[in-house]
Amino acid sequence: MPVFNAPRRDHAFVLFELLDAERQWAGLPALSAVDRELAETIIDTAGKVAEAEFLPLNQSGDQGGCSFEQGQVRTPAGFRQAYRAYSEGGWVGLGGEPEFGGQGMPKMLTVAIEETFFAANPSLYLYPALSAGAALLLAYHAAPELQATWLPALYDGSCTGTMCLTEPHAGSDLGLLRTRAEPQEDGSYLLTGTKIFITGGEHDLSDNIVHLVLARLPDAPAGTRGISLFLVPRNLLDEDGRPGQRNAVTAGAIEHKMGIRGSATCVMNFDEARGWMVGEAHRGLAAMFTMMNYERLSIGLQGLGAGEIALQTSLDYARERLQGRAPRRSERTDGPADPLIVHPDVQRMLLTQKSYTEGGRAFAAWLGLQLDLARHGEDATVRRQAEDLVAFLTPVAKAWFTDRGLDCTVLAQQVLGGHGYVTEWGLEQYVRDVRIAQIYEGTNGIQAMDLADRKTARDQGRMAGVYADQVAAFIDSDDCPPGWRDTLTGLLEQFRQSTAAIVEGAAEDPDWAGAVACDYLDLVGLLSCAWLWALAAGRAQAALDAGSTETAFYRAKLATARFFLLRQVPQGQVLAQRIALGSEGLGVDALN
């Protein structure tokens, strides 16, 4: 009995009350046609599609799973119809290029939509989510002919996209990959090799599939600087541009997995499959990072969505289930027992979920805004600053949201007790489904090393400084409620000291950045959520002071912010303390 109503009110609060979306869009010519009314209509409609088409297939899709026979993948019952409803609604191209049939909506808005679909049915949503990422990659890096051929098909859903990176011996270390691409006289290439863990590598939802494949040219240097990127359609196009003859790319098997069982995770065999190069030779990994960064934020939203549906389901249960007596006599009912929600430990589990998920939602939208500024900003300084913030914070959003997503689903399951462990209520599926989000698109450990090593140590803390300045400016502004100022200042100082420790430590000790990477990422996640909760508390108080009648909504914001301030922010000191240790206490001595 999963409970999910798209959190429309909270999305509107984040966009229009926290982040002044209308003013932001008005300042960017590419987005100036978007206003609050349009955005709220899109949020509402997406919610309806998610609730009516995606949610009812979440449990049945898990139970039925995908089946595989002779190279064909059959998705769970109902997925085809739901996918059709989704693609006919134009949702794949929501953030896509208007020139090719996309709708050019701001990323700041589309993050809300992505979260909504991920919450309602992550297995089903993965198919079009990858299409959107593939389209973004092509929009940035492909030659105009390839764009004209493939973008409209991706946007209208008649074709889906995949990213083919991992090979059996090359996971986090892509430099080891072996798939080869032989140039042909007509300018195309023939690709040969095996890719594993390919999400949506084969399925029955669309007429065609286009694979974006990392491979090596014959003359390629070893390592990551010898990797090129190719577009390989499952079906080659006929003279009319319609999917025709099968290309030599086939699914060899699908994986049996802990969760996301409605999503086909395929072994893909390329046997002289025809493809076309995207971008420059040997620069494929850089191009693929366009898609990977998009997908990283997207996967972070999978974590947020899981947190939202977990919260809604467990909150509903905690209100209904009568068990035990309220500690306070004044809260006791006349019945034989009181609802679970009266117990402080249950409140702790629910508030943890709510504070992480709503705090993360604000952070995601703010990061979406930075992506919009980086892309559409008219001023080069603005664009550069936004690019720095995106580079620094994308790994944080991916790992922090998904780690907290697991925490939230586990807490929600715990609220239900034994009923959370049996399949009937759906909670155990949320845990299994969100668990992958900490692993794919680069494990959260890889995200942390990207942040601590590449984006901090090697960058000498420059991007970290750009980020710290943002938070500092907020603390000094009228937006920061007085009651938050000291705590935020302390947390920011812990962040600055930790950054300095990493930059200095890494210069002396090659193990430094890796040793503290996960703690540093958690510290940035914590600071980002704390800052946005402070902003939310200030805006909620202002609304109440202005006489808003939505008192329950705004009081809930204030109470959740206070919970986060009092009970989550103190973790920062332990993180900072561990970061100061560098690699002390680690090593292989204990592991022999």
Active site residues per annotation: 441
Instruction: Show contacts with its own copies in window 159-178 (CB under 8 A).
Output: 166, 169-173, 175-176
Of 1-9, 370-378, 484-492, 514-522, the window that binds its own copies (rule: CB under 8 A) is: 514-522
587 binds its own copies (CB under 8 A): yes
Instruction: Show contacts with its own copies in window 257-286 (CB under 8 A).
Output: 257-259, 265
Q: How far is the CB of 235 from its own copies (least distance, A)?
A: 27
Cα–Cα distance measured from residue 392 to residue 121, given in angstroms and rounded to the nearest whole number: 29
Instruction: Show contacts with its own copies in window 392-421 (CB under 8 A).
Output: 406, 410, 413-414, 417-421
Site size toward its own copies, by CB under 8 A: 99
345 binds its own copies (CB under 8 A): yes
CA-nearest of 268, 273, 117, 251 to 188 is: 273
295 binds its own copies (CB under 8 A): no
Cα–Cα distance measured from residue 378 to residue 374, given in angstroms and rounded to the nearest whole number: 9
Give how far Cα 456 sits from Cα of 78, 448, 522, 556, Å: 46, 10, 14, 36
User: What tokens does 217 get?
Assistant: 């040219």
583 binds its own copies (CB under 8 A): yes
Nearer to its own copies by Cβ, of 247 and 352: the residue is 352
User: What tokens does 375 get?
Assistant: 């892309």
- 66, 342, 364, 374: which one binds its own copies (CB under 8 A): 342
Nearer to its own copies by Cβ, of 170 and 382: the residue is 170
Nearer to its own copies by Cβ, of 338 and 372: the residue is 338
Nearer to its own copies by Cβ, of 117 and 197: the residue is 197
Give how far Cα 310 sits from Cα of 3, 119, 137, 162, 373, Å: 8, 9, 32, 28, 32
Taken as a whole, the chain contains a residue count of 592
Instruction: Show contacts with its own copies in window 81-140 (CB under 8 A).
Output: none
Q: How far is the CB of 113 from its own copies (least distance, A)?
A: 25
30 binds its own copies (CB under 8 A): no
- 51, 255, 479, 504: which one binds its own copies (CB under 8 A): 255
Instruction: Show contacts with its own copies in window 556-575 (CB under 8 A).
Output: 556-560, 562-563, 565-567, 570-571, 573-574
DSSP assignment, residue 93? Answer: T
225 binds its own copies (CB under 8 A): no
CA angle (274, 275, 276) in 5-degree steps: 145
Instruction: Show contacts with its own copies in window 519-558 (CB under 8 A).
Output: 552, 555-558
- 18, 350, 362, 393: which one binds its own copies (CB under 8 A): 350
Q: Is 182 helix (H, G, I), strand (E, B) or coil?
A: strand
Instruction: Show contacts with its own copies in window 448-487 (CB under 8 A).
Output: 448-449
Of 3-11, 458-466, 511-519, 530-538, the window that binds its own copies (rule: CB under 8 A) is: 511-519
Q: Is 337 helix (H, G, I), strand (E, B) or coil?
A: coil
Burial (CB count within 10 angstroms: exposed 0-12, middle 13-18, buried 19+), residue 418: exposed
Cα–Cα distance measured from residue 101 to residue 45, given in angstroms and rounded to the nearest whole number: 19
Q: Is the dihedral of CA 23, 29, 31, 37 positive or negative?
A: positive
177: alpha, beta or left? (left if phi > 0; alpha if psi -120 to 50)? beta
Cα–Cα distance measured from residue 449 to residue 44, given in angstroms and rounded to the nearest whole number: 38
DSSP assignment, residue 361? Answer: H
- 30, 237, 281, 581: which one binds its own copies (CB under 8 A): 581
Instruction: Show contacts with its own copies in window 299-338 (CB under 8 A).
Output: 315, 318, 322-324, 327-329, 336-337
